[in-house]
Structure 1
């Protein structure tokens, strides 16, 4: 399944080369330190908020349980990228074996799908809270929240199985990817022949991972806006304060996904190499940190719980 055919003599290679690292020389120590600090900050911030929500019974509500799921996903997604990227800093060849490459791709795309689906679930939660406040506790009960989280992960795993169905059985005529992590789009570009399967591979994955969750988010927010138009000024301000972090997260996810697809599908030689690399990892770098800071500092209830947790105030 993971063999790589490079020529007519069927020379079998078991690795890809991530050429975007290039020859960074002594700068590798600086890059490694920055990445290590950033990865540590991501894990610390998200873990801290998970602990705060777990410890404070006042936060044992659907919205914050869904947030915990999002924080867990930020840690999981970052772990699929940062350790390997840091190890590549000190590699002379920047090789990654095929099993590791496919494992990383599965983690990255599962994480991306969980992110979009979790944001869709949170948008639905806010829609129920704002549009049907009297029935909120009945609709968003603990059992239903658990089912939503389970559905988010199952749906995301099925998405990964979908994209792997396009990769299994491919024969490759190259093993060099101009990327700092394994990218299914570039893996398919290395296939010896272009088939209908590889040419349309992006379409179903984009639909199930981005279009469907984004459509659900849009519908939820449209209904929220419709209700807010006829609400009091105080109710409007309260609704805006609760949905603002989600709007920022959704916007950032959309931009990051757009950068990733453009970088993978379109050759842009006019852009500096370092800028291309930054755009390709934009989502992986900024989203895991934006999420805890937006929700940790923007939502008053979490902010107050953090203060109580840190300073032991009752």
Structure 2
């Protein structure tokens, strides 16, 4: 399978600018998320449900970025832009499960904040270690199983073309190259989008609506504490929704470079924004990071 050339040719000096910028973004993503992961893992005071979920979100950013950037960086310095059929499906599976994991993790994080703010007396009895572990297992395995079955179906489709107008392998791009009728698969993909993305996002909106109603009836001190813990989640959720919307832009030969960047937004912005939002806004994580920097 081949990708179209969206960037300057190898003889153009701008190519090295694009490569350097992309490499800088990748290194920033790796470094920022690793800082959060190591802070949560090494500091015992952060071994609480909220921080464990944040750590999982950062691990997911590392997973998605590693599934995209290495091949993308090689493509920037390559004369040709080909990818084998197996590698295309591996990249497609990683980027899609990364996006789905982001949704499921945001869902369990919203539930955690809902219980902490709306049912504070029952928080420790509900959010036990076993419950947190089960929620994480469900958040990870649900997309893996559902999308695994879907990709197994499309992997057997006969293809009549090999050119995709995407910088990365996307499932709908492969389906469009199929030689056979794909109505059933398109219906199935819509159904999967509803159960893996739409329903969790509706649940997140519902929990934060309940949280806002509780905060409205509470004291200003309570509202301040609730906002301090919920604001990073709200920013992350809003950023992801924007990323998801931008990723739906269809790229063809007539589109501009801006559209290409928008289609990559869900792979670029959330992995950078998430660790910055949590690292700067949550005093517990910020304190651990600053104390570690001072020691060294």
TM-score band, normalised by shorter chain = over 0.9
Q: CA deviation at 1:163?
A: 2.7
Task: Describe the superposition over 1:8-30 as per-residue Cα deviations: whole angstroms up to 9, x where unpaired.
Answer: xxxxxxxx111143553322211
Deviates more, 1:50-59 or 1:292-301: 50-59
Partner residue, 2:195:
208
Alignment correspondent of 1:310: 293
Partner of 1:10: none
C-alpha separation between the residues in 2 aligned to 1:281 and 1:129? Answer: 34
Task: Identify the residue that residue 291 of structure 1 maps to in structure 2.
Answer: 274
The answer to whether the aligner puts 1:36 opposite 2:19 as a matched pair is no
Counting matched residue pairs gives: 294
Scaled by the length of structure 2, the TM-score of the pair is: 0.94
Which is further off, 289-298 or 234-243?
234-243
CA distance in 2, matches of 1:31, 1:262: 21
Q: Is the 8 A contact 1:174 1:190 kept in 2?
A: yes
Listed as ranges, the matches of 1:33-182 within 5 Å are 33-182=20-169
**Which 4+ stretches in 1 moved above 4 angstroms?**
none
Deviation at 1:194, TM superposition (A): 3.0
Q: CA RMSD in A?
A: 1.7
Alignment TM-score, normalising by the size of structure 1: 0.89
How many angstroms apart in 2 are the aligned matches of 1:102 and 1:257?
A: 20
Contact 1:110–1:159 (8 Å) recurs in 2: no
C-alpha distance in structure 2 between counterparts of 1:95 and 1:222, whole Å? 47
Counterparts of 2:23 and 2:30, CA distance in 1: 11
Q: In 2, are the aligned partners of 1:162 and 1:205 still within 8 Å (CA)?
A: no
**Structure 2 unaligned runs (5+)?**
none
TM-aligned CA deviation for residue 213 of structure 1: 1.3
Q: 1:275 aligns with which of 258, 263, 271?
A: 258
Q: Is the 8 A contact 1:21 1:89 kept in 2?
A: no
1:150-185 per-position Cα deviation (integer Å, ceiling 9, x unaligned):
111110102322431441321111110111100111
Judge conservation of contact 2:89–2:155 (CA < 8 Å) in 1: no
**Is the CA contact 2:91–2:169 (under 8 Å) kept in the aligned structure 1?**
yes
* 1:2-13 mapped onto 2 (5 Å cutoff): none
CA distance in 2, matches of 1:202, 1:293: 33
More strand by share: 1
**220-229 or 124-133, which deviates more:** 220-229
- What does the per-residue CA deviation read over 1:78-102, in whole Å, with 9 as the maximum and x for residues that have no partner? 0000001001012212000000000
* Worse overlay, 81-90 or 158-167: 158-167
Q: Partner residue of 1:21?
A: 6
> Helix, strand or coil: the match of 1:21?
coil
Describe the SS at the equivalent of 1:262. Answer: coil
2:228 to 241, 244, 250: 241
Q: Give the unaligned 5+ runs of structure 1.
A: 1-15
Tell me how far apart the structure 2 counterparts of residues 74 and 199 of structure 1 sit (CA, whole Å): 28
Q: Is the partner of 1:210 in helix, strand or coil?
A: helix
Deviation at 1:65, TM superposition (A): 0.6
Range moving further from structure 2, 206-215 or 179-188: 206-215
| Aligned-partner SS, 1:286 | helix
**2:211 aligned partner:** 224
| Deviations 1:90-128 (CA, angstroms, capped at 9, x unpaired) | 221200000000000111111111111001110000000
Per the TM alignment, residue 67 of structure 1 is displaced from its structure 2 partner at its CA by: 0.8
8 A contact 1:129–1:136 mirrored in 2: yes
